[in-house]
Amino acid sequence: MTTMIIDAEPGKISASVEKTALVIIDMQRDFLEPGGFGETLGNDVSLLAKAIPPAKALLAAARRAGMLVVHTREGHRPDLSDAPPAKVNRGSPTHRIGAPGPMGRILIRGEPGQDIIPELYPIEGEVVIDKPGKGAFFATDLGLVLANKAIDTLLVCGVTTEVCVHTTIREGNDRGYRCIAVGDACGSYFPEFHDVALRMVKAQGGIFGWVTDAARVVSALEASAAEAAE
């Protein structure tokens, strides 16, 4: 086992690299690129772009370390049979889930907009989880994938911080995973929600988990690799 010690709040956390998974939440064109779901909801998608370089650095380090990498994509079946009417019937009818947009039907599996941005595109061997809800555990086989690899710690990043990232961390925490939010590799259309969401994770002695940043994870991984090579 290779141990890494990640500097984080509310305190350092020691984890086995083999038992840690990087979970990248919903870094999809529909949320990050103009013309997608996020923009049709009236959001400034450029606010999410600053999460891309830290997420890229994190992904590269996880790949070098041979860590399990999981990518999630929020989206629905083309017939919307897995999309609750309460979720679909919100906002203007032209901007709803399933409506046509410049990147295909909004948040529909298989459409270009529902796919992951090129900068973080999955490679062979990485797990892609299509999820119908905000949390990555809800109505998916993520728990099974993690159990089969004996994973006990999750490094979580992606978009948006206070919605799908936060819901996944809460779900993971309740399932017994040690969840570490990688703050600068998360993004929100609302900077104040981003900040408060991260504060909520680490408050009360880490009520939902830990918060760190990409550079601190990369340096923990480099240090563990150097020690293993000695």
Binding residues (CB under 6 A) for ligand C5J: these are 26, 31, 74, 134, 159-160, 163-164
Q: Between helices 166-174 and 191-206, what is the axis angle to 10°?
A: 20
Give the DSSP letter of residue 117: P
Verify whether residue 19 is a known catalytic residue.
no
**Alpha carbon 218 to its chain's center:** 17
Q: Smallest gap, in angstroms, from Cβ of residue 177 to ligand C5J?
A: 19
Which alpha helices (DSSP H) does the chain contain, by range?
Answer: 29-32, 37-40, 52-65, 85-88, 142-148, 166-174, 191-206, 214-229
Shortest Cβ distance from residue 134 to ligand C5J (Å)?
6
- Residue 160 or residue 212: which is nearer to ligand C5J going by CB? 160
Q: How far is the CB of 31 from ligand C5J (least distance, A)?
A: 6
Q: Which one from 164, 179, 186, 202 is the annotated catalytic residue? A: 164
Phi-psi region of 114 (alpha: psi -120 to 50; beta: other; left: phi over 0): alpha
202 annotated active-site: no
For residues 10 and 91, which CB has a smaller minimum distance to ligand C5J in the complex?
91
157 belongs to the catalytic site: no
Dist CA 45 CA 37 (whole Å): 10
1 vs 86, which CB is nearer to ligand C5J?
86
Q: Which is nearer to ligand C5J, 91 or 143 (CB)?
A: 91
Q: Which is nearer to ligand C5J, 19 or 137 (CB)?
A: 137
Task: Please pick, among 19, 115, 131, 186, the residue that the annotation labels catalytic.
Answer: 131
Shortest separation between residue 62's beta carbon and ligand C5J, angstroms: 20
Which residue in 26, 30, 184, 213 is the catalytic one?
Answer: 26
Spatial CA neighbour of 87 closest among 28, 44, 133, 45: 133
What are residue 157's DSSP bridge partners? 24
Q: Which residues are 105's β-sheet partners?
A: 100
Q: 43: closest CA among 191, 156, 147?
A: 191
Dihedral of the CA atoms 37, 39, 40, 43 (nearest 10)? 110
User: Closest distance between ligand C5J and the C-beta of residue 133, in Å?
Assistant: 9
Cβ neighbourhood burial of 67 (10 Å; 0-12, 13-18, 19+): buried
Residues recognised as catalytic: 26, 131, 164
